Amino acid sequence: MKYLPIDSQLFIENRQRLIQHLEPNSMVVLHSNDIMPTNADGTMKYVQNSDLFYLTGIDQEESILVLFPDFPDENFREILFVRATNEEIAIWEGHKYTKDEATQTSGIQKVLWVSQFERTLYTLMTQAEHVYLNTNEHLRADIQVPTRDARFIKWCQEHYPLHSYRRLAPIMHKLRAIKSVGEVELLQTACNITKEAFDRVLRFVKPGVMEYEIEAEYLHEFVRNRSRGFAYEPIVASGGNACVLHYIENNDRCNDGELLLMDVGAEYANYNADMTRTIPVNGRFTDRHKAVYNAVLRVQKEAMGLLRPGNTIKEYHKEVGKIMESELIGLGLLDREEVKNQDEKQPLYKQYFMHGTSHHLGLDVHDVGNVYQKFQPGMVFTVEPGIYIRDENLGIRLENNVVIRENDVYDLMRNIPIEAEEIETLMNEK
C-alpha cells in the first residue's frame, strides 16, 4: 500500500460500535473481496471490501473477520484470518501480512491463517445463536457476479441450516454514514491531494491540449502523493462533452473558447475525494460562461446551507430544485409563468439539471447510508449542482465535499479554487 500506516484505534473503535448493535450471543463473519479476472491470466486492480476495511484496516485478499463478543473464551471473541505466505508467494507477488503485522494494523490480537477458518468456525458455531452475514445492499448496486460474501452465505446456510441468520448491511450502513474524526482526516488527505493535482492542471491547460493529457497530469500528482490513483473513472470533458454526464472517453482536443469540466478525485487509504471544477480552456470566461458559472456557484453555496441535521435527502433535493429554478429563470432558460404552471412531478429545471445534488461519500464514492435517514452531524456529502445547455455545447458543474456539523458544514475542499475570478487569475499567472 502506498498510504501511510493508520492508527489501529480507528478500526478498534469501529468494531466496538458494531458490537453495540448486535443481538446477544451473535457472531459476525465478513470476507474480503475477490481478485477479479480480466482476460487470459490478467486480473483487475485489487480493491478491498469496504466493510472489512472499515472494521480491520486489512488491505489484502483472502482475509476474513469473525466477531463473537459473547463467546465464553475471550481469546476467540475477535479473530482475523489472513492468507499464509511462503517463499514462492513472496517471490512472485511480494510481501503479505505476517500475523504480527495484521495485529498491528487491525488491533486484533488473535490472527490465524485462512486454512484454519472452517475448523475454527465450527467451534464458534456450536455456541452461536445468531449469525450476521454481509451483503451489498446499496440502492444502486447491480450485482452480476457472486461475491465471496455471497458464496459464503450459501455455504454457511448449507452447513449450519438451524442457526438464525441476520443482515449485517443495515447496521454497516448506519455506522459508516457517520464519519469519525479519523475518517474525516483520511478524507481530508484525499481532498488535499486532489487540490495539488488541480493546481497543477490550472497551470497546464491551454488551447490544443488533449483531454487525456489532462487526465495524465491528475494521475501523476495523485500517485506521487501516495494515492492509488483516481477514486473513480475520471471525467475530463471539453465543450459539448460536458453535457454527457458520465463522459469518460477523454479523447478530444480542448479548443479555444470552450469550457472544460473535470470530475475527478483522488483515493487515499481507500477513502475517496469527489471534486468537479469547470474552467475556461484559454484562461478567460466569456460573459455568458461567467453568468452560468456564477449561477451554479450560487446554487452550490445555498445548497450547503440546507445540509443541516434533521433534513432529509428528498426534502433537500426538492429545495435545491427551487433554487435552481430561480437561477435558470434569471439566465433566460426557463419562463417564470411556465414554471408556475409546471407538473410538479416533472419539474422543468430537469431539462438543464438532470442529476441529484448530493450523495454520501467515504470508503465508496457513492457511499452507503440510508437515504430515508435524517441528516446527522458527521455525515459527509458531495454538493454538486450543474447546468447543462446542449444547444450551446455548454456544461458547468461544481462539486465540493462537506461534513455536516451541528450548526453548519465543514468544507473539505475549502482550499480548492472555485471563484471564477480566482480561476482566471491562477490560469494566467506567469
- Catalytic positions, please? 41, 246, 263, 274, 355, 359, 366, 384, 388, 397, 399
Task: Give the list of residues 6+ apart from residue 256 with CB closer than 8 angstroms, or none.
Answer: 207, 281, 282
DSSP H or E run through 388:
strand 386-389
Task: Give the list of residues 6+ apart from residue 81 with CB closer than 8 angstroms, or none.
Answer: 63, 64, 65, 66, 111, 112, 113, 114, 116, 117, 120
Residue 158, helix vs strand vs coil: helix
Give the whole-angstrom CA distance, residue 21 versus residue 347: 41
What angle do the packed helices 420-427 and 181-204 form, to 10 degrees?
A: 50
Give the whole-angstrom CA distance, residue 158 versus residue 164: 13
Give the whole-angstrom CA distance, residue 68 versus residue 89: 31
DSSP state of 141: -
Task: Give the list of residues 6+ apart from residue 91 with CB closer than 8 angstroms, or none.
Answer: none
Q: What share of the chain is helix, strand, coil (3-state, %, to 5)?
A: 40, 15, 45
C-alpha triplet 53, 125, 28: angle, nearest 5°: 25
User: Measuring CA to CA, which residue among 20, 107, 102 is closest to residue 69?
Assistant: 20
Task: Give the list of residues 6+ apart from residue 249 with CB closer than 8 angstroms, or none.
Answer: 211, 241
